[in-house]
């Protein structure tokens, strides 16, 4: 199959519908960014249609240049929007969200990498919507333990950090300042600081990895007690980004899901269009109930 021709199992809905439109309107009114839009996520129609949204903190300019990511790259020059956490909380309240995911661009221009803003946003949501569950998907903060601890102390329900790809491909796929072992250490540090917080990570497939490398990456994630794993197909956002090496069939994702569960992950989402935050609330609720869940 020519890689320019996406297989039949890659089907992306065109964003539409009243819930989608309302979310878009509220986020625009609060001058907020979402990774759903900035990273060209294929699930924006599905997730927004169900009232699930991933808000991107700290602006829309990233200091890193990963070869898989569509988010714009540049120099934010240390600028921080101090009112952003309160606007995030206001949006969560106005939309009536009971589960929200917060992520951010990488901000290597900030001493703490933006950890303070994450923590303030979590606390602002807690004040505005006390019953809301909050998941954060954090950058590596250069491995700074104090920065990671600042986020942990804000007590989100889930802390995610993505490994993204297998060890061999990390220097090719990710920015040179990222690192396979660095990411594992971030996840390890979260558990050392507070073992009660669920941790989560994600791998993209179809970048040229082989299966034993995926199994090695999953085992490495379990070695640092990661609770939840998501597996999805890499889709090149533009011709400037890394090309897709292979389209992985759904049955392979099913098999990898079962293998991941056998390694001890408490929750696994594995399918071609799965992304880090895909069905995040459902995964969390099933894990919280003590169900070993694979979807």
Q: Which residues are annotated as a binding site for [4Fe-4S] cluster?
A: 36, 41, 47, 62, 66, 69, 277
How far is it, in rounded angstroms, from Cα 98 to Cα 87? 16
CB 130 within 8 A of CB 74: no
């Amino acid at each position: 199959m020519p890689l320019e021709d996406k297989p039949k199992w890659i089907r992306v809905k065109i964003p539409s519908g009243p819930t989608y439109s309302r979310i878009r309107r509220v986020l625009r009114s609060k001058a907020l960014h979402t990774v759903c839009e900035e990273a060209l996520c294929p699930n924006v129609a599905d997730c927004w249609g169900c009232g699930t949204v991933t808000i991107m903190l700290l602006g829309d300019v990233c200091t890193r240049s990963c070869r898989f990511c569509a988010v714009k790259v540049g120099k934010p020059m240390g600028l921080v929007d101090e009112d952003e956490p309160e606007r995030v909380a206001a949006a969560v309240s106005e939309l009536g969200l009971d589960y929200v995911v917060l992520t951010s661009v990488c901000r290597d221009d900030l001493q703490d990498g933006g950890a303070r803003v994450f923590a303030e946003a979590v606390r602002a949501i807690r004040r505005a919507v006390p019953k809301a569950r909050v998941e954060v998907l954090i950058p590596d903060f250069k491995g700074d333990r104090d920065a990671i601890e600042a986020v942990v102390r804000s007590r989100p329900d889930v802390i995610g950090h993505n490994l993204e790809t297998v060890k061999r491909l990390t220097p090719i796929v990710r920015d040179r300042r990222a690192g396979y072992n660095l990411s594992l250490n971030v996840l390890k540090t979260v558990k050392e600081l507070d073992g009660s917080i669920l941790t989560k990570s994600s791998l993209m497939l179809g970048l040229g990895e082989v299966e034993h490398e995926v199994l090695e990456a999953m085992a490495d994630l379990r070695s640092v007690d990661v609770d939840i794993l998501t597996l999805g197909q890499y889709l090149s956002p533009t011709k400037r980004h890394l090309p897709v090496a292979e389209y992985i069939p759904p049955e392979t994702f099913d098999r990898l899901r079962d293998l991941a569960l056998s390694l001890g992950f408490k929750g696994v989402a594995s399918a071609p269009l799965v992304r880090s935050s895909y069905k995040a609330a459902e995964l969390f609720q099933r894990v919280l109930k003590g169900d070993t869940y694979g979807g």
